[in-house]
Structure 1
Amino acid sequence: MTVIELAQPGGPEVLRPATRPVPTPGLGEVLVRVRAVSINPVDTKVRRNGPLPTLPAVLGWDVSGEVVAVGPFVNEFAVGDEVFGMLAFPEQPGAYAEYVLARAGDITIKPAELSHTDAAAMTLAALTAEQALEKMNLRAGQRILIHAGAGGVGHYAVQLARARGAHVIATASAHNMDFVRSLGADEVIDYRARPFEEQVQGLDAVLDTVGGDTATRSLEVLRPGGWLVCIAAQPDAARAQALGVHAARILVYPSRAGLNTLVKLVEAGRLRSHVSRTFPLAQVADAHRAQETGRTVGKLVLTVP
C-alpha cells in the first residue's frame, strides 16, 4: 500500500511517498480502507518538531473509509461498514495511507448524510469543540465567546454551542463574518477592528482556539465563576484565581460516544463540515503548506483514491 512517510522532522518537503505492507488487524482492531484524511494544525507541528515514537513515521489521525477486515473480539463492525473517527490520538498516527488500523472504540458508523470528505473533517476538530463545551458545562441561555469562529475547531464550536442553546459570540476577520453568521453565531466580532475585550464583557464562557495572549485577555471578559477553556495555550491559573473564574487547557481524546453525539446532530441537520479545499494524498505537502498559512476557513482534507 502507498503511505506518506517522513524520515525526520522538517518542512513539508520531508513528506514522501513510500510502500508498506497492508497491516493485519489485531485484538479489538479493524482495518480501514482510507477514503479521506483530515489535516489539522497538530499534523504540521508534529511534522516540524515531533515528538514521534518511531521514524520513519506516517502522520494523520482523522480518517473516513470502509472496513475491509476485523480483528478478534470486534463485534461492532463488519466488512463493508463505512466508518470514521480519530485514531488513538495523541499516540503514533498513521492515517496518511491507503489502509490504516483503527481501534474499534475510536471509530463509529459514518452517517449517510456525510461524505467521506466531510466525515474525515469532523473528527479531531469537532471532538475538540464538543469536549471543550462539556468541560465548561455550557448550558442553554449562557453567553459564550468562541475565538476564530471560521477555523477548524471554531466553526464546529459555533454550531455545537448553538445546538446547546447558548448565545454564541464569535471572533472572525471581516471577510469571514458572514460565514460565521451562517453557522448560527448570534454576534460576530471583527477582532482586527477593535480588541475583543473592548466589545464584550460579563460572559459565562470563552473557548480560546488561538493561543498567545488571547487566553490571558479572555480571562478579563468573564463574569465571576465563568469558564475559559483553551486548546492552544496554558491559561494563567493565578490570574484566573484572582478574578474568581475557572480556566483549563484540554487535549482531545478519542471517543466513540463523542462521535455518536456528533452523528445525531448531523442527522438532525444541526451540524455540518465546511471543507474549503481538498488535495489528493500525493499532494499532502501542498496541503501542509496551505494549513500553515493560518488562513484556512473550516478544514483541509486529503482524498485517497
Structure 2
Amino acid sequence: MLESGAEQAVDYTAEDIEVAIKGKFDAVFDTIGLPETERTGIHFLKRGGHYMTLQGEAAALTDRYGLVVGLPLATSILLKKQIQYRYSHGIEYWWTYMRADSDGLAEIRGLSEIGKLKMPVEKTFPIAQVRDAHEAKDSRRVPGKVVLELD
C-alpha cells in the first residue's frame, strides 16, 4: 500500500490496527457507515480531526418510517453524534446524503487516468467466481481491492 502514497503500512493480521494508528489521522472518510467502521474511524482521528460518513441511517429510517418521519429522525440522530463527538473526542463529525452521479464518476475516472488517484488491485477474479471474491474479502484473506472481470 505504500505505492499508493501511504506513509505507514500496518499488517492487520499481526498487529492490532486500532492501537497501531490510533489518533494519527486528520480526516476519515467512511464509505461503509456501519457502527464498527464509525467507532474505528473516530478513534483513528487526532483531536481537531474530521470524520465524514456516507452512512445509511437516513435511507434506512426513511424506508422504515417514511420521508416525513424518517428523514428528521435520521437528522436528529446525526446532529446528536456531531455534538457528542465534538465534546468527547474533539473532532468534527459530518455526513452527506448522496445520489448516483455520472459526472462525479467521470471525474474519478479522469483522476485515475492521469495518475492522481491510485487504486492498487490486490486480486482479480472472473465474474463466475463472484462468491469466491466475496468470501476472500469477508475472511480478510485479500486485504486490498478486489476486481471482478467481465468476460
* TM-score past 0.5 threshold: yes
Give 1:242's aligned residue.
87
Report the residue type matching 1:228 in the other structure. Y
In 2, the alpha carbon distance for the partners of 1:214 and 1:231 equals 11
Counterpart pick for 1:265 among 98, 111, 122: 111
Aligned position for 1:204: 26
Q: Tell which has more relative contact order, 1 or 2 (C-alpha 8 A, sep 6+).
A: 1
Aligned mate of 1:277, from 104, 123, 127: 123
Paired residues for 1:103-142 under 5 Å: none
Select the structure of larger CA radius of gyration.
Answer: 1
Q: Can you give the 5+ residue segments of structure 2 that lack an aligned partner in the other structure? A: 58-77
Indicate if the aligned counterparts of 1:206 and 1:229 stay in contact, CA closer than 8 A: yes
Question: 1:289 corresponds to which residue?
Answer: 135
Q: Match of 1:188, SS?
A: coil
Offset at 1:278?
3.2
How far is the alpha carbon of 1:227 from its aligned partner?
Answer: 1.1
In 2 relative to 1, CA 288–261 (structure 1 residues): closer, same or farther, beyond 3 Å?
same
If the length of structure 2 is used for normalisation, what is the TM-score?
Answer: 0.56
Report the Cα distance in structure 1 between the residues aligned to 2:129 and 2:8, rounded to whole angstroms: 37
1:198–1:181 CA distance, 2 compared to 1 (3 A)? closer
CA distance in 1, matches of 2:54, 2:141: 18
Say if 1:212 and 1:304 are closer, same or farther in 2 by CA, change over 3 A.
Answer: same
Q: TM-score, with normalisation over the residues of structure 1?
A: 0.32
Which residue of structure 2 aligns with residue 14 of structure 1? none
Q: 1:198 to 1:184 in 2, by over 3 A?
A: closer
Could you say if the C-alpha distance between residues 261 and 203 of structure 1 is closer, same or farther in structure 2, counting changes exceeding 3 Å?
same
Q: Distance in 1 between matches of 2:127 and 2:40?
A: 39
Give the secondary-structure state (helix, strand or coil) at the position aligned to 2:9: strand
Q: Give the aligned partner of residue 38 of structure 2.
A: 215
Compare the two structures and name the one with the higher helix fraction. Answer: 2
Does residue 193 (structure 1) correspond to residue 15 (structure 2)? The answer is yes
Gaps of 5+ in 1: 1-179
Q: Percent identity, aligned pairs only?
A: 28
**How large is the Cα RMSD of the aligned pairs?**
3.6
Alignment of 1:1-305 (within 5 A): 180-190=1-11, 193-194=15-16, 196=18, 199-201=21-23, 203-208=25-30, 211-220=34-43, 221-224=45-48, 226-231=49-54, 237=81, 238-243=83-88, 244-250=90-96, 253-305=99-151
Deviation at 1:205, TM superposition (A): 1.4
